[in-house]
Structure formats: C-alpha cells, structure tokens
Structure 1
Amino acid sequence: MEINSEELIGILKNKIALYEHLGIEVVKIRSEEVRFRVSLEKNRNHKGTAFGGSLYATAVLAAYALVLAGLKERSIPTENIVIAKGEIQYLRPVDTDFEIVCRFPSESHEEDFYRELTSTGRVKGSITSQILGAGGSLKASLTGVFVVKL
C-alpha cells in the first residue's frame, strides 16, 4: 500500500499534542526511514542549546512515526504504539537546527517486527533514532523499546 505522508503527519498532529510545539518539519516519513528537521529556536534551553527533553521527545516521535508508517504500509489496523523503555545518550551539545533520523536496525528486523505483530497480536522491539547536528555530526542517540498491540 502506498503511504500518504500527509495522512501520517495529520495523525501525529492530532494524536500527539506535543508535536505542534516542537518545530518539526517532516523531510521523509516511510516505513524504512523517518527524517525530521527540527528548529533549535523552538527547543532552546537557558544555555542556547537544545533542551534534552526536546531531543528525547523528537527522537521518540520519529520512532513512533516509523512504526506508524510501517503499520499503514502493511494495512495493519492499529495505532496502538507505546514506548516501554527509552535510553538516550547525549554526546555533544546541539547548538543549531538538527535532524532526527530513525530506522530499524536492519531490514530483517523490520520484517520480523511486523510478522510477529500479525501472528501474535503484540510485538516488542528496539528502534534507534539518531540526532544529527550541522554537517551530519552525531549529537545524541536514542534506543527505544516499543510495544505495538492489535
């Protein structure tokens, strides 16, 4: 099934209240990769860098969007996606607008994730989001364990 990016963005706007406040521009939203461009200005802390909570929230939101895109592409009728555990490593301060890039660890991991969901009605799996600064330098990385139920 062809994914409608506008439909997915609409779901994010309508179901995740924080989305509208984070200054996110969706660059790509597909089942194999999600890319967000995020405004530093909307997420600035007292030091003039991105607030850690904003980095975490945008990284989790990208992973949520990745799973949502996969569900829609496969015509799996659920939006019941939650994060069970999230671990972020802050490597360097983010002092510019930034990008979030999210993918499954591998194509086979992605296929196994959705296969388990359709066969058991529930799946739990890890997804990683990278936070990139100017020039693509890695600033932070989030690994989240997501649970999806039919």
Structure 2
Amino acid sequence: MDQQRTDQFLQHIKGHIPLVNHMGLNRICFEQNVVEFHIDLAPNLNDKGTGFGGSISAFCTLAGWALTTLILIDHDLERSAVVKSGTIDFFAPVTTDFIVRCYSPESSGPELLVNRVREKGRGKLPIIAEIWQGETLAVRYSGDYVAFEG
C-alpha cells in the first residue's frame, strides 16, 4: 500500500476517533503486513515523566486494529474489525518519542485472515505490538482481532 493511502487512513482515524487527535500520533507506515505508529511522548506523559500506561495500552490496541483493517483494505476487503482479547506487559519505561510496531506473530496470519474473510465473511488475526527504547523492549502487547461483515 502506498504512503498516500496510509496517510488517508490516518486522517480517517483522526476523524472518527477524536481522542487520537490529542495523543501525538504523527504518522502511520504500513509495509509488508507491519504497521508502525510514530508517536510523540509529550502528550502521553505520566506523573513520573515517562509514558503513561493507559496511552501506551491504547496505542497498542489501536495498532492491532489498524493492522487488521489495513491488511483487509490492501486486499480490497473493507470490513469491520474489533479487538477480541489483549494482554500487555510493561518491561521498561518509555522515555522518548516512540514507535509502536505491530505485526502478526504467525507468518501466514495475514493470508489466513484474508482467506477466511473471503470464504466465511469473517476471520481472526493474532497480533503483537512492541515498543522498543533503543535496544530495550519496553512494551509488548499481544492480542486477537476479528474482522467481519458489518
């Protein structure tokens, strides 16, 4: 998918999820079934001067939804997508502007999602979203997302 189409998707998110306009999400990249959110730390600070867990959790959840949705759009299958389950682990503080990188841990995950949606009208995608601070894994979110006609 070209960057212009991904930029339009970001504008769609900002138009339909007003909170995102205040959270410092600057850019979305989508290549080879990987989504990256580029985010400013400043609007997401907690009382300790590091990334607020609620904001980080929200971005990871949103990145999983965006990955599911963009995979489908890339295959001309515009469907509704929702989070089914998610778990987050915080390993280190987020102390700088950051990138949430989201992908399916199963290499065939995106293909299976697309095939199931085409065949059955719905499908599931497992995802991992991570935030790295230099060489340190700061956050890992794992979840399952469901796409369906709706």
Q: With the length of structure 2 as denominator, give the TM-score of the two structures.
A: 0.90
Is 1:41 aligned with 2:39? no
Runs of 5+ unmatched residues, structure 1: none
How many residue pairs get matched?
A: 148
* Structure 1 CA distance for aligned equivalents of residues 106 and 85 of structure 2: 20
| 1:27 Cα offset (Å) | 4.7
The structure 1 segments of at least 4 consecutive aligned residues displaced by more than 4 Å after TM superposition are none
* Structure 2 CA distance for aligned equivalents of residues 62 and 21 of structure 1: 16
Q: CA RMSD in A?
A: 1.7
Is 1:111 aligned with 2:111? yes
Runs of 5+ unmatched residues, structure 2: none
Question: What are the equivalent positions in structure 2 for 1:31-70 lying under 5 Å apart?
Answer: 32-70=33-71
The percentage of counterpart residues that share the same residue type is 30
Q: Deviations over 1:69-127 (max 9, x none)?
A: 1111100132x111111100001111111110011113312101111111111112311
1:30/1:70 contact within 8 Å kept: no
Question: What are the equivalent positions in structure 2 for 1:1-150 lying under 5 Å apart?
Answer: 4-30=5-31, 32-78=33-79, 80-133=80-133, 135-150=134-149
Q: Which one is further off, 27-36 or 92-101? A: 27-36
Question: What SS is found at the alignment partner of 1:107?
Answer: coil
The aligned amino acid for 1:25 is N
* Structure 2 CA distance for aligned equivalents of residues 16 and 30 of structure 1: 23
The aligned amino acid for 1:110 is P
